[in-house]
């Protein structure tokens, strides 16, 4: 799948959520979701929040002026095992909380942002995704 880029309808604020639902390819190994300032840049120099699932681990970090800052890596408990995927990103203060599943969602991880959430203007999705079926913006 090529990269899908979506512009946010408005700046993020405390308590806002972005939910992405889609279908993974058979044997999916990788999924990346990047939150950037600009949707028009194919390979952004700055990524405010980078969320990547690669087989057995979840990586989260930030890219500034083309350089990756030290990030966090955690075990991936089940993301990529199912063909249907729903991830919710909830923005609270200077952190993002990631949940999987739709109803009765499960907490997966959290990450402290290095830039204000209001600077996020776009979401980029790439990896072993067959298609995105829905993107929901819930504003507090």
pLDDT in tens, 79-131: 777 789 999 999 999 999 999 987 788 999 999 999 999 999 999 999 999 99
- Whether pTM > 0.85 for this model: the answer is yes
Q: Domain 4-138 classified CATH 2.60.120.200?
A: yes
Alpha-carbon separation of residue 39 from 43, 100, 125 (angstroms) = 10, 24, 11
Residue 10 and residue 138 in contact, taking contact as beta carbons nearer than 8 Å: no
């Amino acid at each position: 799948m090529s990269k899908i880029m979506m512009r946010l309808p408005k700046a993020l604020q405390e308590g806002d959520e972005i939910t992405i639902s889609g279908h993974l390819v058979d044997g999916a190994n990788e999924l990346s979701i990047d939150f950037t300032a600009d949707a028009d840049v194919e390979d952004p120099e700055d990524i405010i929040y980078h969320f990547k699932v690669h087989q057995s681990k979840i990586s989260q970090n930030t890219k500034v002026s083309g350089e990756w800052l030290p990030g966090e890596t955690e075990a991936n408990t089940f993301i990529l095992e199912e063909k249907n995927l729903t991830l919710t990103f909830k923005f609270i203060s200077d952190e993002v909380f990631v949940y999987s599943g739709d109803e009765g969602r499960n907490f997966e991880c959290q990450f402290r942002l290095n830039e204000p959430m209001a600077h996020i203007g776009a979401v980029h999705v790439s990896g072993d995704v067959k298609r995105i079926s829905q993107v929901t913006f819930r504003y507090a």
